[in-house]
Chains A and B, each alone.
Chain A
Amino acid sequence: MNLINTFLNVQVLADSLPQLMWGLVVTLKIGVTSILFGLVGGLVLAVGRLYAPFFVRILIRGYVDICRSVPLLVLLIVVYYALPFVGIRLSPFVSAVTALSLVSAAYTSEIFRAGIEAIPNGQFEASAALGLSNRHTMVDVILPQAIRIVIPPLTNNCINVMKDTALASVVAMPDLLKQATQAQALSANPTPLIGAALIYIALLWPMTAVVARLEKHLSRGTR
């Protein structure tokens, strides 16, 4: 038996590569969209959790805790298979993005909150003493400093979201994993799966490197 021919069959790989690439495009679309929604949602939730009226803070806290305790796969299946029973019929793409964004926003809000809370109180006091509005205090003083602090955990979260896009294959989304399993079935050979794994690694490994450089760049000239 030839291990190379089984797991890294060049012919099978070449044949399935276009299909895998289409899958990669779908994966990227789901991932990037979810990451963006998650970041914006997380920022809003974090600021709300810290400064909104008491009642809103409780609601946000409940939301965050629930999203952090529900398995993403369960949430995705609920969104895609259960919501149609109450008349909400979402496409596989929208279902995947919804589930991923909801959960990502919850995690992101916790990261942002920790970042904001890490800013010394003197920064808030100096802003207040100058007469800056709450909005300007956040936008000009607090968030630019908080973002430097949260970039490493935020990156990890983005990488997790990218990886979790593979769950979308269970709601018939033709993402990278789905394409790979189909190609595997077609060719009766696991090489497309190995190919998909290598593509995930090739995609996410550089992402960590890029962010490490960004971090270095952002921290220039502070403290």
Chain B
Amino acid sequence: MEKQARPLISVRGLTKAYGTFRVLHGIDLDIAEGEVVCVIGPSGSGKSTLIRCINHLEAFAEDSRITVDGIRVEPGPDLAKVRAEVGMVFQSFNLFPHMTVLKNVMLAPMRVRKIPAPEAERRARQLLARVGISEQAEKYPGQLSGGQQQRVAIARALAMEPKVLLFDEPTSALDPEMVGEVLDVMRTLAGTGVTMVIVTHEMGFARQVADRVIFMDGGRLVEVGEPSEIFDAPREERTRGFLRAVLNH
């Protein structure tokens, strides 16, 4: 296959500070279409902030440059366009509690893509079947388990047919017995060629699913490589230290 001329996501010199405290120090990163990238690292290393910058949920320094499919990510009229192409799954699900599961999935396609209700419903039901919760379509999010809610959130993000899906620690708020069902859905997605950027603490999952693993620490990309390189033969001492700490407990 011919190598992509232009990366789907391009990050150049991404800098972000809260007041005088810098959380991201000039990050450069390209992500190709169809690529699955897992971002690992200690808490406070800036990994969530990094992916939240990609759809501008976090504002960043003006001389930084992020483009998604060629469109620059910046405040203004094009931002909603970028966001419609970038799906996001949150740690705390953030489903809309006053709507049924089905309506949660239907809302954005109807409002943003102007898809008629019957068509939106048909596609929402397909997606809910895909994440294994067809039977819960008429329920409210509050009636579902955490794992089920997160799968709805994935279906809701997929409903916009985004070019890329961002996952911000999608299993960190789940009870341990529910982590597997969410990771299974994500694993299946990764197999279908969806571009995914995943911030995670699930090292086994990252090793198995990622095309590339990024280790972040102190607001910098410390090491980037294939899973086997990062997990089996890390070059940086900080990577080794982190992996020792998370894998031996």
Contact = CB atoms under 8 A, between A and B. Distances in A.
B88 A132 contact: no
B140 A221 contact: yes
A59 B137 CA distance: 45
B9 to A, nearest CB: 15
Interface string B85-100: 1111010101111100
B220 interface: no
B160 to A, nearest CB: 6
A130 interface: yes
A222 B103 CA distance: 14
The interface size bin for chain B is 20 to 34
A136 interface: yes
B83 A131 contact: yes
B111 A129 contact: no
B16 interface: no
Given A129-B88, A131-B80, A123 B94 contact: yes
A123 B81 CA distance: 19
Given A122-B94, A222-B97, A128 B140 contact: no
Contact of B81 (A130, A131, A140, A221): A131
A129 B83 CA distance: 5
Given A128-B57, A130-B83, A122 B92 contact: yes
A141 B156 CA distance: 14
B179 interface: no
Nearest to A145: B98
B116 interface: no
A133 B80 contact: yes
A117 interface: no
A129 B86 contact: yes
A87 B187 CA distance: 74
B108 interface: yes
A123 B96 contact: yes
A223 B108 CA distance: 21
Given A130-B108, A131-B160, A132-B111, A144 B57 contact: no
A129 B87 contact: yes
B142 interface: yes
Nearest to B140: A221
Among A129, A133, A144, which residue has the most Cβ atoms of chain B within 10 A?
A129
Which of B55, B86, B90, B94 is the most central at the interface, judged by chain A CB atoms within 10 Å of its CB?
B94
Contact of B140 (A122, A145, A222): A222
Contacts of B92: 122
A191 B190 CA distance: 80
B246 interface: no
B116 to A, nearest CB: 16
A132 B98 CA distance: 17
B97 A132 contact: no
Contacts of B111: 132-133, 136, 140
A200 B196 CA distance: 63
Contacts of B80: 131-133
B112 interface: yes
Interface in B189-221: none
B84 A223 contact: no
Contacts of B156: 130
B120 interface: no
A65 interface: no
A15 interface: no
A221 B84 CA distance: 28
Interface in B60-87: 80-81, 83-87
6 A-B pairs closest in CB distance? A131-B84, A126-B94, A122-B94, A130-B108, A129-B88, A131-B83
Interface of A: 120, 122-123, 125-126, 128-133, 136, 140-141, 144-145, 148, 221-223
21 contacts: A122-B90, A122-B94, A123-B96, A125-B94, A126-B94, A126-B96, A129-B57, A129-B83, A129-B157, A130-B83, A131-B84, A131-B108, A132-B111, A133-B112, A136-B111, A140-B96, A140-B111, A144-B98, A145-B97, A221-B140, A222-B142
Given A130-B112, A131-B83, A131-B112, 11 more contacts: A122-B94, A126-B94, A129-B55, A129-B86, A129-B90, A131-B81, A133-B80, A136-B111, A140-B96, A141-B96, A145-B96
